[in-house]
Amino acid sequence: MVSRSMRTAGYQLGEFVHVCAIYLGIAVLVTVVLSAAVPSLREQARQIHEALIIALRPDGLKQDMLASFADDDSFAAAGAAEAAAAAPAATGLLNFSNALKASLAGRHAAGMTGSQAQALRSYIARKYKIAHSVAGALVNTAFVVGKEKALDPQLILAVIAIESRYNPFAESHVGAQGLMQVMTSVHKDKFESFSDGTMAALNPIANMRVGVQILYDCIKRRGSVEGGLACYVGATGPGDGGYGAKVIAEWRRIALASGIPVRR
């Protein structure tokens, strides 16, 4: 009887030790996995945090040309003239928080009516699943920067659509960054005017300004929009892999949505 009790107790003790060993193994495994994963997650969170600070901080640039939008169909003449005189074109127009405020207030840049601005932001927000206020800010910026370079703003919006689908923090496998997928390693000189240097590529407005400059240079060099788009995507041969056709097709869809004719 005593022997049977001892065997039973020994069996139960063995089972207890076995279960403890299993749970201890699971705990060790979880600890190892978390030790490997948490630093990576922490680093990703840090990078996203830094990018958001760059994009939204009010002093992210040396100057700001996007200080105010008119309540009607154009920039306030006095405000725009004052801003243009106060800041060099290469360094201004980078305060994204002001652009968002203008968008939330329903103000828009010159070159489109209120209904056209609303149609554009609705199309982009719906198709690319971004906030309406952000879409409005980017549309306004495209019209301001496009006017400076005599480029159709809707072409700029189409390039953004194909390059990043309106993700300001997008990065390709070759290191192209931001809305217009600018290669900061190649165009480092174009970021010298910005206080954040190449990190400004993650600022939506800074990225657009540099991207538009590259696009403008490409079109001027190649002599046509089609050639400029091939240059922009880095095509050196006779074809561009269909990139230009995709951008032009989206350009036409954007123009159809807004009611603003394509301007070459």
| pLDDT of 264 | 85
Q: Which residues contact 127 (CB under 8 A, 6 or more apart)?
A: 161
Give the domain ranges of the chain. Answer: 57-258
Per the listing, tokens 């800010």 go with: 137
Candidate CATH numbers 3.40.640.10, 1.10.530.10, 1.10.3720.10, 3.40.250.10; the one for domain 57-258: 1.10.530.10
**Which pLDDT does position 171 carry in this prediction?**
97
Q: Which residues of the chain fall below pLDDT 50? A: 54-55, 57-93
Gap between the Cα atoms of 115 and 232, Å rounded = 32
